[in-house]
Structure 1
């Protein structure tokens, strides 16, 4: 229901032929009133579709109880862990969590989402896995509502953010596979822009530090989706060079793994696989997928604590861990020799 069609207390007062003050006290359960009058007001309010304007009530109290969480509409499952943590802290604190979605790298939808939450007089905004351009960042600063980004970094730390170090994650994943004897290592489903692209820089730096070449076709760009994994393998399979693929997300890794299996090859016998994120999905498939595991729940806790406690956060990189499972293996000396050409 939009603001123009919203049923107000004045409308109910007119329908019941009672004063606005009386209707307001009844609907807000204040004071003592005749039971028949209370029944008549509440029934008519229900019939007319009255919904209490919580934003207005909060403004009267000069303190909002709503936390807005704006989540990227890119398909992922790690945002659930962030939201779980936010709700775990917000609900016991008497706060309501308002969740809506916006497009990543989509200025128009992000501005719409921000305007929507501003209209609800929120106490703070948590933005999850969204890359924000200068206009959106300027808008957030102008509205003067406490805001924090999770699972992404922000240029010049314009607003606080909590994330993982994408560069180090890219470097660590690549180093793992080099240590296992791999020299022809692909990177699958990685976005071309945004803070997540720092994983590509980490990958390239590690390869360069070991004097290993990287062919352009080994880097398959995408948006961390399941389909990106399938498309990446279709590209790699045209010329079987790589022995390992580092995937931009768990979704991408599972897509690539399924495509490899359908082509008649095996993981890790023919191709080793590493994924970023390390959500529960990597343990649900067989073989289980080696991952760079991020602390998504802790990101959510940091975000809501910042709003509740006013914790001073400017830039915070949470620790990640390398979790080896069944999708990677060491190359034998003979295999390493045959793969050098």
Structure 2
């Protein structure tokens, strides 16, 4: 039987019409459940041929010198800083690191990656910028291998995470531009769901706190990619009301800068730009881009130290800072 053919907890949950979390806890002997429910789950599991993947890692992970890093396959550059910190620290501690890529919201891709690392007897798993569903979280919770998420939050604190406060970043970026006299502010490239969508919530709350109306056309969703900037600007340009755009990532902001320039307008004379992330990319273009800069290297350090030093973490939000550059300007009254 291959990994893809195995009966999963989700399969059993569907058959028994119970939640994935309930089935997971029964099969891993966690929590209190009625004897009838336990019998129903265990009999269904046996009948369907479910085999718990305890893996060699559950027995020998204390001796393993391998750290697994599973990274979102979204085309971005900030994860490089997280991985740099992990690899540098691992090298100092004579550990090996192997990296796999998985879709940020692709359940099957994530399951395949996680099962692969579990079977490799790793000492720990670091997940970078991944939105995890209930089944993936159940598998991580049920194994004895330590795991931690970086650059995303995890609901219900199932596994620890270290990230930036997306809501506060969205609020701060909006406040910065309101303080500069902007009242018509767009936001581009941010996903409509998941932890990162809280940037939009922060943006909306800040606008509301200043009694500023927001048109639905001012919000253009995306996946933080380079392509999002170009596509969003094409829509903004059709009925150009906004004087500023907050971009989901440095790549999104650079794409929008290029699209604005190609349309015959100038940044910041005609449109101001702000980006999230604040990697080295914002200093490589002209004008340099104002950013809400995150502590990515520190995220990587926190993740690897959690595995190597047993640093107690459940949820941790690292500080971010606003760095003003030439892509924003104050509006004249």
The TM-score range, normalised by the shorter chain, is 0.7 to 0.9
Cα drift, residue 92 of structure 1: 1.3
Aligned length: 280
SS in structure 2 opposite 1:330? coil
Q: Deviations over 1:195-240 (max 9, x none)?
A: 0000000000000000000000000001001110000000000001
Decide whether the 8 Å contact of 1:189 with 1:225 is kept in 2: yes
Corresponding residue of 2:83? 83
SS in structure 1 opposite 2:257? helix
Corresponding residue of 2:63? 63
Unaligned runs of 5+ residues in structure 2 are: 3-54
After alignment, is 135-144 or 300-309 more displaced? 135-144
* Rounded Cα–Cα distance in structure 2 between residues aligned with 1:57 and 1:237: 54
Corresponding residue of 1:209? 209
Q: Trace 1:1-341 onto structure 2 (pairs within 5 A).
A: 63-333=63-333
Decide whether the 8 Å contact of 2:61 with 2:145 is kept in 1: no
Cα drift, residue 326 of structure 1: 0.3
The structure-2 alpha-carbon separation of the partners of 1:282 and 1:62, relative to structure 1 and needing over 3 Å to count, comes to: closer
SS in structure 2 opposite 1:286? coil
Cα RMSD of the aligned pairs, angstroms, is 1.7
Q: TM-score when scaled to structure 2?
A: 0.82
Decide whether the 8 Å contact of 2:61 with 2:123 is kept in 1: no
Unaligned runs of 5+ residues in structure 1 are: 3-54, 334-341
Decide whether the 8 Å contact of 2:170 with 2:203 is kept in 1: yes
SS in structure 2 opposite 1:175? helix
SS in structure 1 opposite 2:238? coil
SS in structure 2 opposite 1:77? coil
SS in structure 1 opposite 2:217? helix
Task: Report which of the two structures shows the higher radius of gyration computed on alpha carbons.
Answer: 1
Cα drift, residue 61 of structure 1: 9.3
SS in structure 2 opposite 1:224? coil
**Moved segments of 4+, more than 2 Å:** 55-62
Q: Deviations over 1:111-142 (max 9, x none)?
A: 00001001110000000000001111001011
Cα drift, residue 57 of structure 1: 12
SS in structure 2 opposite 1:91? helix
Q: TM-score when scaled to structure 1?
A: 0.80
